[in-house]
Amino acid sequence: MKRILVPVDFSEFSEYALEVAAILSREYDAGIVVLHMLGLSEEVFGEDEAVEAAEVRYYLKLARKRFSSFLDKPYLKGLKIIQIVQNYKNFNEIRDVAEENEIDLIVMGSHGTGGMREIFVGSNTEKVVRKSEIPVLVVKKRMQKFDPRKVVYAMDFRTDHLNAYRRALEFFDQWKAQVHLVHVNLPNLNFMSTTQIKEMAGAFLKKAHNGSLPPMATLSYVSDYTVEHGLYAYAMEIGADLIAVPTHGRSGLAHFFRGSIGEDIANHSPLPVLTFRV
């Protein structure tokens, strides 16, 4: 891990993400890129180009001044930090920032459900989770320590999830984490018998590992009414540090991985959530 991107809106939730990024930065000697998106609308500007340019300079100056105090934190001392303040308005633009700066991980703070209160908070987290090709770590509270030794990874055994699964295991290997692969069986049209689940799991693992699990991983099946609740209950039972999910880049919340269950879990789980784009 060489570079971590932290989008901020100067809220307490942004600071939660920044603290976790600082922990990872020290652990892996990674640089931190801190991004603030102004998101100024066209209504802010006048018709005169000179006036428009002056307005942009004014808001950029205010943001940079706020950046100075926001980044004046003891836990950031000695770290390599790049500050970016731009009038980005489209969440697709975060992808450009990530590519230009060779980002390996995006860390975001989120208050949870509801509202479009501020940029990169709440449902805006869903937008980044949905669009990012880079793993997104969503943090919901202040964490004095971030050392994910037990990870719950949601499994659907779909072959189109294979690349996301492999990327996830590579990611967790550098953390030296024990990975609990968990499939949630639902009492609806997706319900499968134990025999069916084992057959699907066997076919998936044959492609992924020639049939056997790596030493770092275990596999479990649970039954519940929602994937979200099943994963969270299992995570609480084993004392997990993190929930990880593959997610499609589709809008809306739907059923198990057919839509964006990754967004749903990112919004509702009090545990940190790491998403991998399918």
- Please indicate, yes or no, whether residues 161 and 76 belong to a single structural domain of this protein: no
- Please indicate, yes or no, whether residues 123 and 170 belong to a single structural domain of this protein: no
> Residue 38 domain-assigned?
yes
Q: Give the N- to C-terminal CA distance of the chain in Å, as an integer.
A: 20
Give Cα 242 distance to the centre of its chain.
11
Q: Each residue of 116-133: pLDDT tens digit?
A: 233 333 456 667 777 788
Please report the pLDDT score of residue 62 as a whole number: 80
Select, from the ranges 48-52, 125-129, 157-161, the one with the highest average predicted confidence (pLDDT): 157-161
Please report the pLDDT score of residue 116 as a whole number: 29
The DSSP string of 22-89 is HHHHHHHT-EEEEEEE----GGGS-SSHHHHHHHHHHHHHHHHHHHHHHT--GGGTT--EEEEEE---
Domain count, the chain: 2
**Pair of tokens at residue 199:** 């057959």
For residues 274 and 108, what is the distance between their CA atoms, to the nearest angstrom? 10
Using the CB atoms, write b or e for 64-77: b if 16+ within 10 Å. Answer: eeebeebeeeeebe
Amino acid in position 249: G
> Residue 206 domain-assigned?
yes
160 with 277: CB under 8 angstroms?
no
Which residue range forms the structural domain that includes residue 12?
3-139
Please report the pLDDT score of residue 276 as a whole number: 92
19 with 143: CB under 8 angstroms?
yes
> Residue 65 domain-assigned?
yes
Q: Each residue of 203-251: pLDDT tens digit?
A: 999 999 998 899 999 999 999 988 888 998 999 999 999 999 988 765 4
CA distances from 95 to 36, 82, 128, 136, 150 (A): 14, 16, 9, 12, 29
- Please indicate, yes or no, whether residues 230 and 255 belong to a single structural domain of this protein: yes
Q: Phi and psi at residue 174, in whole multiples of 5°?
A: -70, -20
- Please indicate, yes or no, whether residues 42 and 64 belong to a single structural domain of this protein: yes
The packing angle between helices 123-131 and 93-100, to 10°, is: 60
130 with 249: CB under 8 angstroms?
yes
Pairing of the two strands 273-277 and 242-247? parallel
- Looking up residue 221, the CATH number of its domain turns out to be 3.40.50.620
Choose the final residue of a domain: 90, 108, 139: 139
